[in-house]
Amino acid sequence: MATPAAGSLRTPEEAVARIAYLSSDVVISVQPSLSGASAYSSKLTELSSSNIKGTLSHQTPEVQTVRQNADPLLSVYQPARSGKVVSVTTTSSTLISSIPHLYKLINYPVVIHVSMQPAQYPDYSEITSIRQTGLILLQSESTQEAQDMAVAAHALALKSGKAVIHFFAASQQSEVPVEDSTLLERVLDRAAARGFHDSTVDSANLYADDGVRAQTLQVGELTPTAPLSGIATPVAGDVTSNGSSGSSVASTAGDSTQASSATPASSVDLPVTSRDVTSEDIFRHINNIFAVIKQVTGREYNVFEYTGPQYAEHALFVFGSTTHLFRDVLKKAPSGEYDKVGVVSARLYRPWFGTQLPTSIPKSVTKIAVLEQIHRQTTRWGPLFLDLLTCLRTGPSVQGAPSVVAHKLGYINAETASQAFRGVVQNLRSESSVQNLSVGLENGPETTASKPEQPGVETAYMKILDQLFGDRLHVANSLDRPNAGISANIAASPEYGYGSLLARIEKRKALVEKVEKLAKSSDFATPESTELLSKWLLVAEDETKSAEAAEELIQQLEKDGSAVAKGLLEDKSLFRKESPWLIGSDAWAYDLGNSGVHHVVASGKNINMLVIDSTPYSQRAADDASRRKKDIGLYAMNFGNAYVASVAVYSSYTQVLHAMLEADKFDGPSVVLAYLPYNKEDDSALTVMQETKKAVDIGYWPLYRYDPFGEEKGGINFTLESERIKKELKDFLSRENHLTQLVKRNPAFAANLAHSYGKEVRQQQKRNAKDAFAKLLDGLSGPPLTILWASDGGNAENLAKRLGRRGKARGLKTLAMSMEDYPIEDLNNEENIVLITSTAGQGEFPMNGRNFWEAVKGSTDLDLAAVNFSVFGLGDSHYWPRKQDKIYYNKPAKDLDKRMREIGGKPLVDCGLGDDQDPDGFQTGYSEWEPKLWQALGVDNVDGLPDEPPPITNEDIKLASNFLRGTIEEGLADESTGAISASDMQLTKFHGTYMQDDRDLRDERKAQGLEPAYSFMIRCRLPGGVATPKQWIQMDDISDEFGNHTMKLTTRQTFQFHGVVKRDLKNTMRAINKALMTTIAACGDVNRNVMCSSLPQQSAFHDQVQAVAKRISDHLLPSTTAYHEIWLQDENDKKVQVAGDAVVDHEPLYGPTYLPRKFKITIAVPPHNDTDVYAHDIGLIAIKGEDGQLAGFNVLIGGGMGVTHNNKKTYPRTGSAIGFATPDQIHLICEKVMLVQRDHGDRKDRKHARLKYTVDDMGVEVYKGKVEELLGWKLEPSCDFHFDSNIDTFGWQKDENGKNHFTFFIENGRIEDTPEFQMKTGLREIAGVHKGEFRLTGNQHLILSNVNDEDLPQIKDLMAKYKLDNYAFTGLRLSSSACVAFPTCGLAMAESERYLPVLISKVEDVLEEHGLRHDSVVMRMTGCPNGCARPWLAEIAFVGKAFGAYNMYLGGGYHGQRLNKLYRSSIKEDEILAIVRPLFKRYALEREEGERFGDFCIRIGIIKPTTEGKTFHDDVAEEDAEDE
């Protein structure tokens, strides 16, 4: 097909979409699915993304996308009632289900464009089915006609004030130019549109049809003119006008004749009245519109259109998609063949102007063939046949009127049209014409049926149902259930499923009665059959026992072979007590009275319903009362006979399991409301999870379970399992559903409350805070200075607050606050304002400044002529190293300065820019900018300025903490917040816990006026990563009772819990200690968890090394009793001593300020470097003696991973060897190395405080000498060793003692249950029978250790049951690891754990293609440069730079012995894939025998090797591009 010319349109849908967009304020785009575009979508998207303005309002129309199965016409009400001109683009398949809504839309100027389906052979019965709704129906066939009739439809809707359906066949496609703008200008009634814009309708009126009438003005007895403002006044005055009163008459091009003949009411004393628009008005309007179209384009249209001779005797009235084919046949026919035959069609199908038909066709016509394209004709005579019969064969004109012959119009094409035409004409020419003669193929060409499909993301709930109920599960409306003679759409509907379930219940009841009789008969071949039937009857209603009995019974009946046995086997599936389910969507929530919900609940039958709600919280339709869903849960609970649960699989998997099991056991109707929000059906699990968390946290989707008979069973009726609205919902229940009654009386209440409350509170908070502070400043003299900040990491905030303090000292009335807290309407009234902003992401404002920037950028009301301002920005000129990205450097500050000048602001001083690359960082630029500011304000020469107190550092906090006590106890007791103080945040790290907040929820909670969703991460101290099965179960319990139902196996070989709220902190700590573990010193400036190789092949040797790790850990444990006092006191406030020996309040090793920074020790056992021994402050390499026993350790010092992006003073470092020591000496050597760091480490600059910098500053030999000086003896020379890997070995292995070990693949260390993989449940079951131990690995995996041969079958069965025996993944995936990053890590700049699996999946096809599936390539990802997953040692690494952007590093050593180097900076996924895919291909083709990927990258020159930490930033592949 030829490429269309510029500005041309190829399909009718494109032409229609363009007209709809230009002629509307709102376009409702109906799509088969949110991820599947319709034929209109591409054009609508193109127009919308280009910000093309509409013709009527000269504003950019809004395009709303709605799923076809989500009752799309509901979306029309709200904008139409708000005075918006609305159009809909859809297909004919939506019409029948929308009939209940159409009557409400009749008197609104709404245009519904309908593409007839199936495209090749449309079924026009869907049009005839709505012919009596009162809507205007216009039809077209070709692309050109569709364009013109779309224009006519919009013009007619505006003129008449009534809804128009424009239906068209898409089969005749031809390229046409875009519409003539002159046509739109002339034909669209702007006056009527303005009147409609000024009108709003109260949806809460008493009238089912909104009380709206399409009316027109009439002056005296004159001919009526245009409609009243485009919309009529409702019966009870429900229209409120903001503009014209509607008393004026709208004059338009099409009505020029009538308008000119009317005398204005102002000059003649004639009464002006309004009346309803009649069909005569519509007839006049459409003819005037057709006249304008002809004047502008030359194309002629009429209500009835006739083609043929004026003396014709026969005519074909065609109602279908092939009128143009018959007209072509007629035109091309040889002279004499069809000289007396014509073709007629109706351009305007409704209103039906039958009286005009005789004047549209020759009077000589004696017979008319009616051809109706209706696939399934349910009556003998078609609708159009009856229309013609009524207008031609009744009344005074019946004498001499033509006779009407009905025909069924099947599928015809260009090749068969002539034959079909001939057949119809022959039938007409026959003396006795055959009625209902079929023409063309009855079924038409085969098309791919649009079978309904369950969105991929929704399969999560189906998988859970399958897992829970297995063969017992019966989904009545399942998509794959055979239903003879029933369409897939009907069979999948819940209403159909409900009916089939009722039938199935009756069928099973009949089976039981039949079995009761047969159990007493002798009709079976063997007596065993009657015995088993009797046994089955005893357990027929028991889910478990009936299933067991059914298996045995079915086998017996198959053996029996008698006639009665065969009869029973026909219903063998009914022998099991099934779990009957209906699956529905949130569409049920719009009209509960007519939906399956009402029928199921009201019936009282034992039927379970799963209703999946997919509306994302962030796109909830709270403003749209028509689209507002009823609360199905409250509706069902009010019946008092139904089990109801509200669940969300991406919030609490366990709760979903409980709810479904309880629903199954409940004897009566059950409704499980399941939340699964998505914008598109192919949304990632991450997107769905983030939306779910927002909805549950904010209270939009509460999690609860309700059993109306719970108390009778000894429990409770209502269990609420989400925190956010616990009190509110309990109050609601205790008030006997008072709120429900209120909502029923005023449906706008609930949505308005949810939608506006948070926003209004937030605005009021801003106002109150600023006003209160202003009062405090009133007593001060001196000019005012407002300082606003937008801060990402805290630097801009601290700078702003410091500037405020300095301003006060100079006599200024200063107010410092974040931009998000500032009422933007006060900006015009400021005298002096300073704006300080850092740079986030890709040159973006920080989150707490974005709303302020958007308001300033987009406002037309701001006039800063009287405002003095200055801007200071914080950025990093090397953060985006590529030359084309230099624009992002300090972009927020530059943009803000420019905009402030544009709106009249007077700069106090030029915009200041702080650069992290300057010698003193941003302070270099700031120190130049601040004095200029004081000078401009006239306060630069002020005497007696007080000295500023130095900033509080971590060293100050530690020193003042009284050995790590601080005010932690008081902070835990404060119930007013979920947080603790900033200083206590630093101290709790020493106790093993970090305060975090859920960053997925941060913005939403801020918008609601709530504090962040604070919670705590708790990390255990577990030397060597060894735990007993009992401890595993205890950790599992803790994660469920106090955490977020998951456990994290960390890269430090220990357990980590997330989501622990403050009130549960003590109980969690106690539970961990009861498990004989501890959390003290798992974090903080102390020696942290001591790691040790997992070593499954050498258990005896592992025991020796593990013992050393435990000894080192215990030896370096802090001695403070604060841990026990805060966390482990009993009810009588007496100290209890668990998992530690702390007895005194001093620190003999650490002192009151502990270490300068964190300190990490690990042990590796060659040849496996699975703990990354080079990456730690102390690395110990175990050396095996000639006797096979542990001889001692090589000692490495100075390893470390933490880096700051673009700060070349920071770098990762691999450890340096200083000698060898025996096992009995090693804990003392670790102590002395730590003490030298304690005394010589940098305590002024935490970025320079790690041991690696101390070693480089002092030199390895000097540092070693100080260690030996403290020891009193010298270290021996290092021993030889060899590493060949730093990854884990998966699968089963047997050690030297005959014990078995299995290494599980735990992707990124996350232990959780999902619908696809019940890992957590499976590992718990294994722990329940396991007699050995669990070993956590440094690569975030898990080893099931010391399994006896006799226990293997049971263990293997459980592993197979839960798919835990699967490690058949690519070598790349098996060798990957990632840190937690979003949503809990406060330092994360980008995703890591949640994204790395997705990225790997996108490159695995290349690995497969080039034979690299089983090749191990070490890939690691972190969300920031702090290096928790040790990315700097990986062969390929991605380190988060900004959201969605990563630095890429190549060339790390496969054994963990060599650092990698920067290859590309700040690249996103498309760039990553463009680099990685060809690189892997090249590796497959060019590598040498045994060559590892990192070595390969260096050999071929892609990257240069990093020889030591200090050269990490040298010779990078992508040098920072300086401006020329």
Which amino acids are annotated catalytic? 1019, 1088, 1158, 1160, 1379, 1385, 1424, 1428
Dihedral of CA 311/315/320/326: which sign?
A: negative
Query: What are the CA-CA distances from residue 325 to residues 149, 168, 322 (Å)?
Result: 19, 15, 5
DSSP secondary structure letters along 866-934: T-EEEEEEEE-TTSS-SGGGGGGTTHHHHHHHHHHHHTT-EESSPPEEEETTSTTTHHHHHHHHHHHHH
Q: Which residue has the tokens 């801007």?
A: 871
Amino acid identity at 1320: K
Question: What interhelical angle do 417-429 and 323-332 show, nearest 10?
Answer: 80
Q: What whole-number distance in Å separates Cα of residue 595 and Cα of residue 1358?
A: 43
Which candidate, 1146, 1125, 1142, places its Cα nearest to that of 1134? 1125
Q: How far is CA 874 from CA 786, 800, 1441, in A?
A: 19, 12, 16
| 239 bridge partner residues | 201
Task: For residue 215, give the H/E element and its range.
Answer: strand 215-219
Q: How far apart are CA 829 and CA 839, in angstroms?
A: 27
Which structure tokens are listed for 8? 């041309």
What six digits make up the tokens of 1489?
């025998």
Helix (H) or strand (E) holding 44: helix 41-49
- Count Cβ neighbours within 10 Å for each residue of 1134-1143 and write b for 16 or more, e otherwise: eeeebbbebe
- Report the distance separating Cα 1029 and Cα 758, nearest Å: 47
Q: Is 750 helix (H, G, I), strand (E, B) or coil?
A: helix
DSSP SS3 for 1250: coil
Lookup: tokens for 305: 């259109």
Ranges of beta strands (E only) in 1257-1411 are 1291-1294, 1300-1304, 1310-1311, 1333-1336, 1342-1347, 1376-1378
The rounded distance, in Å, linking the Cα atoms of 1450 and 1499 is 12
- 1199: Cα separation from own chain's centroid: 40
DSSP 270-320: --EEEEE--HHHHHHHHHHHHHHHHHHH-----SEEEES-TT-SEEEEEES
The SS3 of residue 369 is strand
* CB neighbour list of residue 695: distance below 8 Å, 6 or more residues apart: 616, 617, 648, 675, 677, 701
CA–CA distance, 125 with 120 (Å, rounded to integer): 15
CA 1462, CA 1346: separation in Å to the nearest integer? 42
Q: Can you tell me whether residue 1104 is helix, strand or coil?
A: helix
Closest CA to 1176 of 1246, 1111, 1234: 1234
What's the CA gap between 306 and 1357, in Å, rounded?
A: 78
Instruction: At 839, list the tokens.
Output: 């740079």
Tokens of 1294: 């047997």
Strands 111-115 and 993-997: unpaired
- Give yes or no for a contact between 158 and 83, defined as CB atoms under 8 angstroms apart: no
Exposed/middle/buried for 572, CB within 10 Å: 0-12, 13-18, 19+?
Answer: middle
